[in-house]
Amino acid sequence: MIAIAIAALSCVIWLYLLLVRGFFWRILLPPNLKEPPKTLPRVAIIVPARNEADVIAPVIQSLMAQDYPGPLRIFVVDDHSSDETAGIVRTVADGHARSVTVISSAALPAGWTGKMWALAQGVEHANEFSPDYFLFTDADVVHAPGSLAQSIAIAQSGGHDLVSMMVKLRCSSLAERVLIPAFVFFFFMLYPPAWVNDRKRHTAAAAGGDILIRAEALARVGGIAAIRNELIDDCALASEVKRHGSVWLGLTESASSVRNYGSFGAIGSMISRTAFYQLRHSVLLLVGTLLGLAITFCAPPVLTFLGGWCTLLGAFAWLLMCIAFWPMLRFYGLLPLRAPLLPAIAVFYAGATLHSAISFWLGRGGTWKDRVQDTRGLNSQ
């Protein structure tokens, strides 16, 4: 009787996810805006970079190659890199028509995460340029020539204060092909773009690899200082902006990450870095999350093999799960036959979430580029 109840609950959950939760599983690409921009605003691109020598050259080249005809400057903040990040940027930018400024980061103050401090310094230097918009982009994100112009057109046409694109993540290695589509799928499950883009709803989110924000809106929320200690800084920024403005979030094929997550361990570490922080370090939320993952993702395939009503309901929930996951697999060019593997992938994500909690309790939470950023009583190093 308990097994049947769990199977029925799984079906209800997946019917809700498919039909009620903002149709999050649909692929929302940027609108095709053919009309020219109303104006050509001044844009400052801020790139925080820490030990990015292996990926930053094509990133800077792509930013310098933007076909945006308006005033544009690029500011790269070298965040205490121990490699040749800054030198590579200067070499790539040498003699190019686009202005590229390399900023050496000052010492990290207490109460700030490394990335937020780098962005804040970039914004401070860029203010001398009097930009109308800032583009915050990561040091591993390569932009197609029309990427910036597309974001500005969306912002202008919709009157949005913040436009964010979930860039296409690298999906080449076995680990990436197995885990990366689910990463984006789970993100949109938490933050359905239709709800984020609805001015009447409180749901707010952004993807940190590609955020265009109106300078006036950034100043209105108190600048980067308002989110100085946030690990999930992109969503925190979107939340601040949406209190009094408008946010647009979607997927894009015009910008892509070149960061190599070649192993399951590398992706697990990426998930673990912020998972327990997102749960507000709550043991109760951790247990609830793990239980929710078990009922939503793991129960259907297990119950399918128990016979009777369990088989019928479990198989139906599993089918709904596959239908929801199919569009994301197709976006990443993968066969839909992978969809039934989502329960096993969810187990991996549950393990990474538990690892995140354990890392926090051991004083190693939020580790990124050798920085511990999520530990009780310990400021960012």
3-class secondary-structure state, position 72: strand
Which residues face 214 on adjacent strands?
133
Which of 138-142, 210-214, 375-379 has the least mean pLDDT?
A: 375-379
For 188, the token pair is 């949109």
* CA pair distance 100, 121, nearest whole angstrom: 15
Q: State yes or no: pLDDT of 379 exceeds 60.
A: no
Residues 6+ apart with CB under 8 A from 224: 116, 119, 120, 123, 218
Domains of the chain (ranges, CATH numbers): 2-23+264-361 (no CATH), 43-257 (3.90.550.10)
The helix (H) or strand (E) run that includes residue 282 is none
Quick one: average pLDDT of 66-70? 93
Q: How confident is the model at residue 213 (pLDDT cuts 50, 70, 90)?
A: very high
pLDDT score of 136 more than 90:
yes
- Can you tell me the distance from the alpha carbon of 100 to that of 173, in angstroms, rounded to the nearest whole number? 33
* pLDDT tens sequence across 147-166: 999 999 999 999 999 999 99
∠227-41-101 over CA atoms, to 5°? 65
- Continuous H helices in the chain: 2-19, 56-64, 85-93, 114-126, 147-158, 174-190, 193-196, 215-220, 233-242, 264-278, 283-293, 299-304, 308-331, 342-361
pLDDT above 90 (res 127):
yes
pTM confidence score? 0.94
pLDDT at 218: 97
Average pLDDT rounded to a whole number, residues 320-327? 97
> CA-CA distance, 346 to 182, in Å (whole number)?
8
For the sheet containing 99-104, what is the strand order?
A: 99-104, 72-78, 43-49, 133-137, 210-214, 162-168, 247-257, 141-143
DSSP code for 29: P
Q: For residue 307, name the pLDDT band (cuts at 50, 70, 90).
A: confident
Integer-rounded Cα radius of gyration of the chain: 21
Q: What is the C-alpha to C-alpha distance for residues 96 and 237, in angstroms, rounded to an integer?
A: 32
Mean pLDDT of 302-325: 95
Query: Can you state the angle between helices 174-190 and 264-278, rounded to 10 degrees?
Result: 20
Tokens describing residue 191: 């933050």
Point out which residues pair with 250 in neighbouring strands: 165
**Tokens (6 digits) for 86:** 């800054």
Work out the percent of the chain whose per-residue pLDDT is above 90: 88
Tell me the C-alpha distance between 251 and 151, whole Å: 12
pLDDT averaged over the chain? 93
3-state secondary structure of 278: helix
Report pLDDT for 98: 79
Q: Read off φ and ψ for residue 45, nearest 5 degrees.
A: -95, 125
Could you tell me which residues come within 8 angstroms of residue 47 by beta carbon, excluding any fewer than 6 positions away? 56, 59, 60, 63, 74, 75, 76, 77, 122, 137, 138, 139
- Nearest CA to 121 out of 220, 44, 68 is that of 44
Q: What is the largest CA-CA distance in the chain?
A: 73
Burial of 129 (0-12, 13-18, 19+ CB in 10 A): middle
Q: Please name the residue that has the structure tokens 């844009």.
A: 43
Whether the predicted pLDDT of 272 surpasses 70: yes
Rounded to a whole number of angstroms, the distance between the first and last alpha carbons of the chain is 53
Note whether 325 and 185 are within 8 A (CB): yes
Count CB-CB contacts under 10 A for residue 219. Answer: 11
Kindly indicate the confidence band of residue 13, based on its pLDDT and cuts at 50, 70 and 90.
Answer: very high
Distances (CA, A) of 340 to 8, 109, 305, 325: 19, 47, 14, 9
